[in-house]
Structure formats: structure tokens, C-alpha cells
Structure 1
Amino acid sequence: MPSTFRLHGLHVPISPDDVSDVIWSALKDGSYEAKEARWALKAAKPNDRILELGSGIGVITSLLAGVEGAHVMAFEANPHTVRLAKRVIRANNRNNVELEHGLLTAGPSRDFTFYVREDLWMSSLIKHQGPYIDSIQVKSSNIDEVITRADIDLVVMDIEGAELDLLTRARLPGVERVFLEFHDHLYGLEGVRAVTSAMADKGFAYDPRGSSGPCVLFSRNTDPREYQPEDIHAIA
């Protein structure tokens, strides 16, 4: 087991041999998923049932699982990354996490080609995104069926562009909040517009209280919500 360092308050037992030089540098200087860590946590509430798509090495997964009373279901398509994520989850004693190798999409189950890249955060379903070191076949599951079965409150996703197809086609039954990172470099502002329009059609609104740049929260609940002091400072 590699030595453990601290990142965003978590124990992270990852070594340089586990990841690329780029990701190792981000892990060591604390910039790895720093913005996502802050804003994804703002989206979560006590006792949430959370569905995470694209768990990566389990950092955001473990943070979400630290929310009081929360239960997290997480999916990751890269088997190597799943192994790292399980290591991080165990190191932080997150016994309220179910992590599976796989991916969720809108519609019936089908086979997808997943392109594994040296920098794990660049791995995706998109072949033309850049050079890849391997391609694997992954069978999808229907996200709406999983949401219904698990009674999900919050969906969190960082899935390298696949959010465009998923969020324009999925129904998201009963979900209160969706937090995602836009990848507009892959589908442009037209794609951002398509996702935003589709989410509005499902009853979601862009929630500025939980959004920052490409990290965006969509909420169905229209009840007033107080700003935290740091939010007011950021607005000012």
C-alpha cells in the first residue's frame, strides 16, 4: 500500500506509479478537483441518496459520502480508476458507498467503446478527444431505472462530454438536484444551450447559489435557500 497524503481533508493512498505525471502534480499541489470538491459538496444535503457518474479516483465520492446520513452509488468506466477509487474510499472508512465498474446512459442497455487515456480525467466515450492508450467495451445501464430503484435525490457527474446526450434524453424521475461539469470545449455553447433547455423542460432551473463557471447546479426545488457567508463574499 503506498504512503498516504492529505487532499481536501481526505486520506489519499495514491503513488506516482498509479497516475500520470500531470495528475500526480495536481494531487500533490492540491489543485486536483479543487473546484469540484467545493461546489459538489454545496449541492449535497444531509440524508441525500446520491448517484455519482464518473467517480475518478474516488475523491469526490469520498467527500460526498462524508455528508451526514448520505448514501452514494458511484459508477466509473475505467477499471484501473475503479481500483484506485476503492482504495481511497477504504482509506477514508466510507462504508456508505456502492462503487461499480460501468456506465449509465439514457435508454436501453447497450455496448460502448470507452477510450482510456494516460491522464485519467481525459478518458471518455469520445474517440476524437485525443490520443488514447487503450479502448475497452463497457455495457451501459439505464440511468432512469437506477434512479427509480435507488430513490436518488442528487446526481453528480463529471463524464467528459457524455452529459450532453445523457441529460437531453434521460427523464431523471424524482431527482431534486443535478450537479455537473460542462465540457463546452467538446460541444460548444450549442451543447450547453441544449443541456440547459432540456433541464428546464424537466423542471430544473440553473441554480447560481451552487454554481461556479463550468461547475453547474440545476435544482427543481424552488424554495428560498439562504446564501452562505462565503457565497455573499464571492458575489460582492
Structure 2
Amino acid sequence: MNVCLTKVDVDLLSDAAALNGVTEWLRAKIASLLVNIPLDNTLNGSQRHNVADIFRDTATSLEWIDLYQSQKLMLRALYFRPDGPFLKKKVQEYGRYIDAAESGECEVKGIYLSFPKHPPSPLLQSLVEGSYEHKEAELLTRFIEPDDRVLELGAGIGFMGVTAMMRCNPASYTAFEANPALLPFIAKNMQHNDVVFNVKNAVLLDKPGLQAFYVTPAFWGSSLLQPAEGYFEQVEVPALEKNSVIAELAPTTLIVDIEGGEAAFFRELDLTSVRKIIVEIHPMILGDDEIIEIFNTLISQGFLLDFKASGKQELFWCRSDSKVNI
């Protein structure tokens, strides 16, 4: 088979080279290839492998940015090296990601999830590969018990709530999610997985009213705090007085993942009923003083941090007199 570099290949590599994910070193390799290999001439074995390498490296450099572009590039790499096992594996992998992106559906550890179609690549890959909220789900299944009353802040698409009801069956589970666009996905995920829990579209703050909320393309990054960069939409959501909600629900367990909002949430919070806390800390958003304030608040109210159970940012706290074995 005569294998040639075509104008389509040149255009594909030129477009890719203009994207931010491509390093200067790789841009130089692409430029050298386009100068030194004439179009539509049959390539020898060495040239084919060189071209395949460049298509492969360009594809992998862009897979966190543009999966469709990466798939096109990897398919061309496979054309130039059809027996490449890594290339075959990556083509299949990109195909799985794109199928999930277009359907807005996947399965994570035996749980069906529906989500907004075409999420950014890092979020999509975590869903498809099953690493989405992995540590939080591990802590939840390990420490939540049937007599727990759970309050979750930052429900997202409902994965934690579905996991809790399927794996732990707590006495009650109430989830708050600020992004109104995610509520239909939570409802669909409850229905498909045959579980039910309480879901409210609101945020918990010091005072009731309306609150600005910033929705980002990756739903897991939406926040009460305005992003410093990147695209976002501002919506207004209901705000409820946090201690009134705590008093009404009397939760024994808190699950908190609110993208930097955790500092304000724990400030002057009545934790009398709470025995266990799973919270994700966001050091890229919060300052050191705000993280220290959270730690001081929890320690002063009788909580201990379980270092062995916790992850890097996903922390498990329990009361010093709790029955939980730490």
C-alpha cells in the first residue's frame, strides 16, 4: 500500500499546532515535517514512523482540550502505523469518550449517570473512566450508616446521593444543588437507579434571599465565587439561612463540595447534631487563612481529622467521641 502525506494531513496538523495544548517543541517538529516531507509522495518506513509519531504526540497533547481533534489525529497516526497497539488503544478510548459525550450517559461503578452533553474533556474522562468523585464516594460508603441523616451541599448530577441510597440506605438524605440546570439530571439519575432522596435548588448562606451563582461549562466547577478566568454564566438562585436548615433537618452527616464556598459555609455554623463531615477543600480557590479557619472551626467544635481515611483534598472529620473507628 502506498502511504502518502496529503494536504488533509497538512491542514489537520497546522490547525492542531495553533492550539494552546501543543508545546513549542512539538510545533517545531510539525513545522520540520511539513517542510521536509513532500505531499503525495510514497513514504518509506522511517518516514511513516516519524509521521505517525508526530500525529500521535499531537493527539495526546490535545486530549484534555479537544477530543474530536485528538481522535482525528490519532486515526491518521494509525493510518501511518496500522499495527501500533498504543494507537489502536487510544482510538478506541477516544471513541468511548465521544460516544459518552454525545449521548450524555455513562456508568460509574455500577451506577447509571446522565449528565449535560459534551462536557469539557477532564470532566468527561473522569466520568467514563469511573474516577468521578471517587474518593468522596469511598468515604461515603465506608462511614455512612443506616441511622444517619445526611445533608449534602453541591449535589451536582446526584452521584453521591444515588451512591448513598444504593450502598448505605441512610435514614434520610437531603441534597442542595445551586445550578437549576442540573436538577433534571438528578431526577433522571434517581429514576434510572431506582432511588429517591430530597433535592432542593438553593444555597445555604447566613441570610435568606437571592444569590448570584456562576455556572461554568464543567458543572463540577460552578460556584458562588466568580471565576477569575474562563467562560461562565451568572444566574440567581434562592438562598436559605443555613442554621435554620440545619436545625430543621438535624443532620448527623454533612457532605460538602461547593467549590470554595466551604469557608463561608462553616463560619458560625451550628454543628450540634453533626457527627461526621465529608468535605472537599479547594486550595486553588481558598487562601491558606480560610483553610486554617475551617480547620479551627471544626477542631473547636470537637471534630478530629481522619488523616488515614482522607484524600489530598477530600477530608473526613468525625467527633472525638464518635463511634466511628478512626
Fold similarity call, TM over 0.5? yes
Match of 1:146 in 2: 245
- Which of 137, 143, 152 is residue 37 of structure 1 equivalent to? 137
Give the TM-score of the pair, scaled to structure 1.
0.86
- Which of 106, 112, 128 is residue 227 of structure 2 equivalent to? 128
Match of 2:259 in 1: 160
Q: Tell me the distance in 2 between the aligned counterparts of 1:40 and 1:188.
A: 27
Higher mean displacement: 119-128 or 20-29? 20-29
Cα displacement (A) at 1:4: 5.2
What is the letter of the counterpart of residue 183 of structure 1?
H
Cα displacement (A) at 1:129: 3.8
Q: Could you list the runs of 5+ residues in structure 1 that have no partner in the other structure?
A: 228-236
Task: Call closer, same or farther: CA 1:99–1:92 in 2, change over 3 Å.
Answer: same
Q: Tell me the distance in 2 between the aligned counterparts of 1:223 and 1:27.
A: 34
Higher RCO structure (Cα 8 Å, ≥6 apart): 1
What is the letter of the counterpart of residue 28 of structure 1?
V
- Which of 81, 84, 94 is residue 185 of structure 2 equivalent to? 84
Cα displacement (A) at 1:22: 3.3
> Root-mean-square deviation (CA), in Å?
2.0
8 Å contact 2:215–2:222 — kept in the other structure? yes
Task: Call closer, same or farther: CA 1:14–1:119 in 2, change over 3 Å.
Answer: closer
The sequence identity of aligned pairs, in percent, is 24
Q: In the alignment, does 2:63 pair up with 1:63? A: no
Match of 1:186 in 2: 285
Q: In the alignment, does 2:122 pair up with 1:49? A: no
Task: Call closer, same or farther: CA 1:129–1:73 in 2, change over 3 Å.
Answer: farther
What is the letter of the counterpart of residue 113 of structure 1?
A
Task: Call closer, same or farther: CA 1:29–1:223 in 2, change over 3 Å.
Answer: closer
Task: Call closer, same or farther: CA 1:41–1:129 in 2, change over 3 Å.
Answer: farther
**Greater percentage in strand:** 1
Q: Which protein shows a greater Rg?
A: 2
Q: Tell me the distance in 2 between the aligned counterparts of 1:9 and 1:64.
A: 13
What is the letter of the counterpart of residue 169 of structure 1?
E
What is the letter of the counterpart of residue 143 of structure 1?
K
Alpha-carbon deviations, 1:126-165, whole Å to 9, x = none? 1134323310111211222112212211010100000001
Secondary structure of the residue aligned to 1:152 is coil
Q: Tell me the distance in 1 between the aligned counterparts of 2:241 and 2:116.
A: 34
Cα displacement (A) at 1:50: 0.4
- Which of 287, 296, 318 is residue 219 of structure 1 equivalent to? 318
Work out the number of aligned pairs and report it.
223
Q: In the alignment, does 2:203 pair up with 1:103? A: yes
Cα displacement (A) at 1:183: 0.4
Secondary structure of the residue aligned to 1:113 is strand
Alpha-carbon deviations, 1:53-80, whole Å to 9, x = none? 0000111111112213432100101111
Cα displacement (A) at 1:25: 2.2
Secondary structure of the residue aligned to 1:127 is coil
Cα displacement (A) at 1:225: 4.2
- Which of 74, 80, 101 is residue 175 of structure 2 equivalent to? 74
What is the letter of the counterpart of residue 247 of structure 2?
T
Q: Could you list the runs of 5+ residues in structure 2 that have no partner in the other structure?
A: 1-102
Q: Tell me the distance in 2 between the aligned counterparts of 1:154 and 1:115.
A: 27
Q: Tell me the distance in 2 between the aligned counterparts of 1:11 and 1:133.
A: 27
**Greater percentage in helix:** 2
- Which of 270, 279, 282 is residue 171 of structure 1 equivalent to? 270
